[in-house]
A and B are shown apart, each in its own frame.
Chain A
Amino acid sequence: MSLITISEWLLLLSFFLYVAATIVYVLAITGRRWANREPKEHEQRYGRAGFYLVVVGFLAQLGYVIARWIAGGHSPTSNMFEFMTFLSFCIILAFLIIYRIYRLTVLGVFVIPTGIIMLAYASVFPSKVTPLIPALKSYWLHIHVTTAALGEGILAVGFAAGLMYLVRTVPQERPSKSTAWLEIVLVVVLMLVGFILMVSTFANLDQKTVFQVPQFDSSGNVEKTLEVEYLLPAVVAPYQSTIITPGPMTPWFEAPAWMEGQDAARKLNTMLWSIISGLVLYGLFRLVLRKRLGAVLKPLLDDIEPDLLDEISYRAIAIGYPVFTLGALIFAMIWAAEAWGRFWGWDPKEVWALIVWLFYSAYLHLRLSRGWMGTRSAWMSVIGFVIILITLVVVNLVIAGLHSYAGV
């Protein structure tokens, strides 16, 4: 068995262990009211089991990182698949650190799924080990990306704890602006889940739609035609395209003319599917549970002091912020200076790292000197992580078209 196969098995194993850990964590909280049980003892027992599952899963994933590192000859952070996998690894690591400090069982119910979603999201991208092109051959790159990912992983724990604070404190007796916003955040999470489900389903179904897409020059004449392949059923066709290989459905409409670029329409199509599938999932939940999702989750947290959640979220951000500064900005600058002779070039990825950093700086100042704690601070920790995701997903796949690793 080759090292790469071993690494793949280890990764799969860690995925299942994390899923199992989440289930055990949920049981640890929900099972407290089971008949003839001592609630505290029950939570401790299950909580410990969940923790061990996470530790074993983490070790398996560590094995994946090491095996793939040896097999590929470079740190497994050189494409979208590797990076997102590594980010999930960092989220779990950050969980272990924060859990060691606060020993709060319910943290596992929220943080581990965040890691699982990242891991599942990674699986959407091509997972082949590719050799490094010269531009990526620098040990500074490895140092930079791994540190940045670790910082983002710790900030993700800040996000999860902030979200927990909101779920815990937003009153669910009657609908309000706060419940609506909280539901929106949860729907966005479901859209990410929906996206993963759609892409991984259709990747195995071979239901491709192929278009022929004309490219226009500046005076509106057809310059050349390209072929564009959709993995997902086509809701939106590229501008003025014709279908060569029909897929499972005929497109409903065409992308507007200004959406240029070979992949723009396909990305729009994928985005539409993510939105649709997220909404469908949400609708199903509402139908089955007959409650707002926030109200479903709230009982998990009823026993927790909101202040403790606020503290954890802030602490995670306080730990993650310096790591992020070092990895995503300072190491990035050193590498850029070595590779391109300029430490800063305002390229979209650099700019978005700066935006994330400025945002968390604003968070810290608001908290410290304007007394923004509790709810406002929790919202900011959620928004901060959303900006990180924008940086990782949108900037990689949409804005910085040249560097896009993705095929969906």
Chain B
Amino acid sequence: MPNILDATDLNFLLYDLLDIEATLTATGHDRAIADAILTTAERLAEDMFQPFAAKADAQEPSFDGTHVHLIPETEAALTAYAQAGFPAAGFAEADGGMGLPYLLCQAAAGWFTAANVGFAAYPFLALAAGNLLAEYGTEAQKAAYLTPIIEGRYFGTMCLSEPQAGSSLADIRTRAEPQDDGSYRLFGNKMWISGGAHEMGENIIHLVLAKVPGGPAGTKGISLFIVPKFLEDGTLNDVHLAGLNHKMGYRGTTNCALNFGEQGGAVGYLIGEENRGLSVMFHMMNEARIGVGQGASVLGVSGYLHAVEYARERTQGRAVDNRDPASPMVPIIEHADVRRQLMQARSYAEGSLALCLYAASLVDRLRAGEDGVELLLAILTPVVKSWPSEFALRANDIAIQIHGGYGYTRDYPVERLYRDNRLNPIHEGTKGVQGMDLLGRKVVQDGGAPLRALAQEIMVTLGTADAFPQERDQLGALLQRVGAVTAGMAAQAASDPKAYLANATIYLDMLGHVVMAWMWLRQAIAAQGHSDPGFAQGKTATMRYFFRYELPATGPQLDLLESMDRTCLDADTDWF
């Protein structure tokens, strides 16, 4: 069963592609420590997370009106995870954490997510809340709420959406009324709150976006509050579970409609300043988006690994040139079209993981104060969030296809992995929102500096790609065209903003493919010295596959973008 991740590939990505050793050394750690941590993560994932993933999916959480019920395995997994010290891994030593590189934490997290995403969400939501508190909380807030998160005792949520305001946060209605003692009372309804109600741990720290009456309209009037489930004196705060949502996947995670202030107001404490809530939240959202891409990637990788195993074991048919019906059937991996599908799934899933870990390494470089990294992260974040959500998901789809009818049943894990992964193009900013962010904000930011920074990085790789001249030239020419098309579009952005943004998602897909081709070229180059020649050959072949079968899709996309095609923009709403 395991097929959670491929440790050989993960080590290749960390050490050969991304040189994590340099980051480890710079932060006072070494490879032995990193290897031991990853081994513990792998074992915990295998022993404590994966075994109940299917059960947690089949027996989703229930609410009896008073209590939320989760299957008992959840508590044991949580205890093991906390005792192993994972909640503290990424936090600064000054806050009581271990100060491990973000890249290493993301790699370890990959094991847990791929093994059981519906459970892993609980500790990871706590980390996200903790990260925000570490960055913006006062010392008193950190002592009260961050320390127990680092110790694995408290959980957390992010309460942004409301029933009437999802992507459109400007329209939230939850209000926060200031009190004489400096605290606030919150009133309103929040929707889609993952981990919003359960009985694990000692407390849940809700981080809630709300508007203080009298503030500016729209997003400029949004503030951010800490609203604990239990107040410091141990009494329940005025936060109520209105109901659980019943989802397609991620079913181990409670997803909640929460009501704040049914009985006089939920006690909340302001983080940072009034009306600055959204920028605080979005600072953290960038890392959350890398996390979404990473989650999508590892679910795709797991599906791909299951498909490879199945294709090696399942026998059907014979070679096309074998006419002897008495000869034994061959494993389906012997069929060219199955290998094509595996190649496609691998190029999407492994490529996505390479991209997301690269982005994580950029976060480490940013923290180390390296120049120019911020621009790279700016342009890449929407791609990192969206491309894996779309294409690693397709790897899960292919994994079902390779399993045939069996893949469509719940006796095999591939359909669950697909359902779990289907969330990723939706949450933390839908794909459409990411396209708008990329083309409407990042591409035009600082006179195009982020895109130039990315092009420069790609050019560096092309300069080391002499072993692959054909692919080097293909990507070099494509990069030139992307620059020209983008410049042409940007020139019309001000005069015709609707047309400029009409095909933003197409631009996102196109740039995603360019970035992925770059990632594959980098992997093929880095794999050349690998101790296992078969590994290097596999990476090279997958790189060639991507350049030949997938990258040409950018041609027609660039045609649409270049002409600023108006087919969809001009479509009358009455025609649908």
Asked whether A and B interact, the reply is no
